[in-house]
């Protein structure tokens, strides 16, 4: 089983074939079924040898297919000051892209 560690959206993810990853929203107008390639591969491992990049492994790439694009559940931000009738309610929904790894 071959695995790789990829970097996207300022975070690192362990990718293996047919794995579903929920990552930060990718730039561009992506739709379901689009192909995506991750070039920043930090490490690869095929079970026998591991290759660690400095900072990235040259020539390595991970291919994926977009499964869905959306927003996560709403996070509620509530600011409150006691005894002064000050309240502020805000919400935030983080955009994400869900991908299925097709090749490592």
Q: What percent of the chain has pLDDT over 90?
A: 86
What's this model's pTM, rounded to 2 decimal places?
Answer: 0.82
How many domains are contained in the chain?
A: 1
| Residue 39, pLDDT score | 92
**Is-cis flag, bond preceding 55, omega within 30?**
yes
Q: Which of 98, 93, 103 is nearest to 69 (CA)?
A: 98
Q: State how far the Cα of 3 lies from the Cα of 102, in Å rounded to an integer.
A: 12
Q: What is the pLDDT of residue 1?
A: 75
Is residue 53 very low, low, confident or very high in pLDDT (cuts 50, 70, 90)? confident
Residue 13 zone, left/alpha/beta (φ > 0; ψ -120 to 50; rest): beta
Quick: pLDDT tens for 56-87.
998 899 999 999 999 999 999 999 999 999 99
Over range 30-41, report the average pLDDT: 93
Kindly tell me if the per-residue pLDDT of 22 is higher than 80: yes
d(CA 49, CA 67): 31
Distance CA 104, CA 9 (A): 19
Per the structure, the complete domain to which residue 37 belongs is given by 3-103
């Amino acid at each position: 089983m071959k695995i790789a560690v990829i970097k996207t959206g300022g975070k690192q993810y362990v990718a293996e074939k047919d794995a579903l990853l929920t990552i930060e929203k990718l730039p561009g107008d992506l739709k379901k079924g689009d192909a995506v390639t991750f070039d920043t591969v930090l490490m690869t491992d095929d079970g026998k040898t591991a290759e660690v990049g400095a900072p990235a492994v040259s020539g390595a790439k991970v291919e994926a297919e977009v499964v869905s694009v959306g927003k996560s559940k709403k996070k509620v931000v509530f600011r409150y000051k006691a005894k002064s009738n000050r309240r502020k309610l805000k919400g935030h929904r983080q955009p994400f892209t869900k991908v299925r790894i097709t090749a490592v």
